[in-house]
Structure 1
Amino acid sequence: MNEVPLQLVEAPLEEPVVRIALAGALGMFLGLEREWSQKAAGIRTFSLISLLAAVFTILVVESDIGESLLILGGLLVIVQGVLLAVKGLLGEPDASEAGLSLTTSVSMLVAYGVGALVAAGFIVEGVTVAVLSSLLLVLKRELHEFAWGLSREEMRSTTEFAILAFVIYPLLPPEYPLDLGATTLDLEPQVIWLMVVAVAGIGIVNYAIVSSYGGRGIAVTGFFGGLASSTAVVGTMLDHVRQRPAAASYAVAAILLANAAMAARNLAIAVGFTIGSGSPILFEAVVPLGAVIVLAFVIAGLTADWRQSGEMELESPFSLKNALGFGAVFFGVLVFGSLAETWFGTLGFYATAVASGFVSSAGATTSAVVLYRGGELAAAEATIAILLATVSSIIVKAMLAATSSNQRFRRQIAIYSAVLLVGGAVASVIFVI
């Protein structure tokens, strides 16, 4: 009984006539936007191109005809596209209109590729290419506005992030044994680098959100700013309090939310990077870090008037120097933490986690997760290390806030930071230790 529905779903796609029809439909879908934009090639042209690719592909697959027929069809589409592009360049005085002719020419070749994919049996791939291509055509104005609105710094940062995520990451080996003399540390370079990229990616998303909505609420400023750099939030609020002493309660709330964001980021790393790792998920970190997050939100909600707003400008969405610095801190914590654990036991790694938390709690968190994934730390030990790094990060922000000349601001930050630390400590004692 269970086999009949499966056959009904799969059998039609195995028929060449069904794949030809699907190829024509996808070509029509691709040509819809070009027709709507009143270009020379529209629904009929694109549909015919996809049908041509499907016919040639089926002839190559199902008969003895060589692949030269498929290549010839592709060359004909390229020649047709080139002629159309040249006509557009010569006949359109507007550079943007000429660019659209080039886009139409490339889209014709994409339609040919979609038809070939579907006819060859790559149904999901062909549909995906068609949908993404159509989306790019429809979002022309939005994409252009986005690209033209980027500053030089934003463009450089985006390019650097792309290199880290899509060039360096695939080149790294999955595993690499590092001989430290006293012990051998089994590193996972791809996992380590993926964590670096993930933290940087959070920063980019945060930059976009704060740039768009930062002036509409201090919650956005504090929480999303804290995802990228909680220290930046403290520095901004110090300046805000200096200029407007009456806004101290709002600045306190922003720093509390930055602590909540920092704890949420560490929790996401602890849980997210243990899913599918072969080791149990670090659920032990949920309650203690969750306590810090909840307390920070509750105190911020009770102490600030949310009708007020505050802005925070981030210097850059992503910095290669900062990313490499994070990587260096993370790698150093990993190596020296492993050595400290070998020499002094688990207490040595705890001390390293506290020290590294003053620089980057995310680095200490990722180090603990990697050691836990490798079986060098137990779940409770990894969780305690993460909590110690989180504690030291909260203390750093309190120390920075203590440099303010506003006594009320200093006192509130000190008191509420202590509340967060006590709450996290109580949760740790009850649920972890």
Structure 2
Amino acid sequence: MNGVTLQLAEGPLDATVARIALAGALGLFLGLEREWSQKSAGIRTFSLISLLAAVFTILVLETDVGESLLALGGVLVIVQGVLLAVQGLTSDEDETRLSLTTSVSMLVAYGVGALVASGFIIEGVTVAVLSSLLLVLKRELHQFAGGLNREEMRSTTEFAILAFVVYPLLPARYELDLGELTIPLEPQVIWLMVVAVAGIGIANYAIVSTYGGRGIAVTGFFGGLASSTAVVGTMLDHVNQRPEAASYAVAAILLANAAMAARNLAIAVGFTVGSGSAVLLEAVVPLGAVILLAFVIAGLTADWRESGSMELESPFSLKNALGFGAVFLVVLVFGSLAETWFGTLGFYATAVASGFVSSAGATTSAVVLYRGGQLSDPEATIAILLATVSSIVVKTALAATSSNKGFRNQVALYSAVLLVGGGLAAALVVV
């Protein structure tokens, strides 16, 4: 008897019971929002549906009679969902949509139960949590979708195609043959970086559209994530029209530099984590110094009683994304050629030149070459810093075109402080 008890405690039965219990709990979790919304199917129904799927799935795994039962259970859930949807047709239009949501949610609960019982625990939990989140955020999602204009909808669709259609079709590795020289490329990683930069732009668009008129911090920093040059151009217009706005215009440019440095740091660290190469932690100190100095100077010098706004044309531009990708690829190829022909100094020159156009492109190029073993840790870090420096210099040169002497002098002075601070921090890292 003791042997039988021990087998029940340590054998596969306990794992099976745990999966059944988890399936029921996830079904209950899915039905919680439906119960709160006072729908015809709530906590008990959803939990029973997940339990039914778990039982039938276990029968499939353990016996020869479960497959037909699992299919029959799925059909019954679909039929029940159809009945609920038909019942909703007698109500108003909004209730019809909610009935359809409940019907689909019941089928999701059945799938969650089958996943968990099959041993796909993480997958089942993920589906349950995401599904519940969609149900809870119903009002916010409807408001978001209804508030999109045609340009925003088109941009979002284009971004989805690039991120979820093009990316999976690209090969993981590709060797570009240029005569006697072969350049190893990672197309998926390259495209993922393009998508990441574009995604930052979309997030920036949403934040600036919401808070752009409420403070210079949002306008400068989040505007700089997408295009620090756009921040400079906007501030030039503000200063030309309102000379008294110079203090917060300078702060906006400083925060745009901070955003640019933060973006480059995120690319340098984020895309080297889990790559098989050491994380580029050397870039943290100098870029962090630039970010910190920019925030401190902006906080101490700006007249925070002023506020500014920035109008962005669209959240995402396919032309801009492809242009960034083209610049990135050209920088990558020519950087590899320059590094092969002229050594590391050749790639440094390429990084400086490309930083005038896009410091993000130069940073991503350095990261890809580092991941491929063509650059060492210090070399990749120096290239990223040179691209960051050239971007700051470009913004200073653009600000120098202003007719407001105080504005252009302050931008030049504080940009020099950023460069010196970042240089000293870099020197400390090297030493």
**Aligned match for 2:171, one of 165, 170, 173:** 173
| Alignment partner, residue 158 of structure 2 | 160
| Alignment partner, residue 4 of structure 1 | none
Name the count of aligned residue pairs: 424
| Alignment partner, residue 72 of structure 2 | 72
Distance in 2 of aligned mates of 1:276 and 1:46: 39
Q: What amino acid sits opposite 1:410 in the alignment?
A: R
Moved more, 247-256 or 124-133: 124-133
Q: 1:72 to 1:382 in 2, by over 3 A?
A: same
Query: Matched residue of 2:175: which SS?
Result: strand
| Alignment partner, residue 59 of structure 1 | 59
Q: 1:124 to 1:292 in 2, by over 3 A?
A: closer
**Aligned match for 1:414, one of 398, 403, 412:** 412
Alignment of 1:347-362 (within 5 A): 347-362=345-360
Q: 1:240 to 1:43 in 2, by over 3 A?
A: same
**Stretches (4+) displaced over 4 A:** 7-13
Distance in 2 of aligned mates of 1:241 and 1:421: 24
Moved more, 113-122 or 343-352: 113-122
Shift of 1:182: 4.2
| Alignment partner, residue 15 of structure 2 | 14
Q: Does 1:39 align with 2:39?
A: yes
Q: Is the contact made by 1:34 and 1:41 (CA closer than 8 Å) also made in structure 2?
A: yes
Alignment of 1:6-405 (within 5 A): 14-16=15-17, 18-89=18-89, 91-92=90-91, 94-405=92-403
Distance in 2 of aligned mates of 1:61 and 1:148: 45
Query: Matched residue of 1:170: which SS?
Result: helix
Distance in 2 of aligned mates of 1:160 and 1:8: 54
Shift of 1:19: 3.5
Distance in 2 of aligned mates of 1:34 and 1:71: 25
Distance in 2 of aligned mates of 1:13 and 1:102: 37
Shift of 1:430: 4.4
Q: Is the contact made by 1:186 and 1:374 (CA closer than 8 Å) also made in structure 2?
A: yes
Distance in 2 of aligned mates of 1:378 and 1:121: 43
Q: Is the contact made by 2:176 and 2:182 (CA closer than 8 Å) also made in structure 1?
A: yes
Distance in 2 of aligned mates of 1:331 and 1:29: 47
Q: 1:346 to 1:12 in 2, by over 3 A?
A: same
Q: 1:289 to 1:28 in 2, by over 3 A?
A: closer
Query: Matched residue of 1:358: which SS?
Result: helix
1:42-72 Cα offsets, whole Å, 9 max, x none, are 3333233223222222222222215122112
Q: 1:429 to 1:51 in 2, by over 3 A?
A: closer
When normalised by structure 2's length, the TM-score is: 0.92
Query: Matched residue of 1:185: which SS?
Result: strand
Distance in 2 of aligned mates of 1:238 and 1:11: 71
Shift of 1:25: 3.3
Q: Is the contact made by 1:182 and 1:339 (CA closer than 8 Å) also made in structure 2?
A: no
Distance in 1 of aligned mates of 2:144 and 2:37: 21
Shift of 1:31: 2.4
Query: Matched residue of 2:213: which SS?
Result: helix
When normalised by structure 1's length, the TM-score is: 0.92
Distance in 2 of aligned mates of 1:20 and 1:165: 36
Distance in 1 of aligned mates of 2:209 and 2:12: 51
Indicate the percent of aligned positions where both proteins have the same amino acid: 83
| Alignment partner, residue 3 of structure 2 | none
Q: What amino acid sits opposite 1:88 in the alignment?
A: G
Moved more, 177-186 or 54-63: 54-63
Q: What amino acid sits opposite 1:297 in the alignment?
A: F
Distance in 1 of aligned mates of 2:40 and 2:80: 12
Shift of 1:234: 0.7
Shift of 1:429: 4.0
Q: Is the contact made by 1:33 and 1:138 (CA closer than 8 Å) also made in structure 2?
A: yes
Q: Is the contact made by 2:16 and 2:117 (CA closer than 8 Å) also made in structure 1?
A: no
Shift of 1:247: 0.8
Shift of 1:12: 7.0
Q: 1:348 to 1:208 in 2, by over 3 A?
A: same
| Alignment partner, residue 5 of structure 2 | none
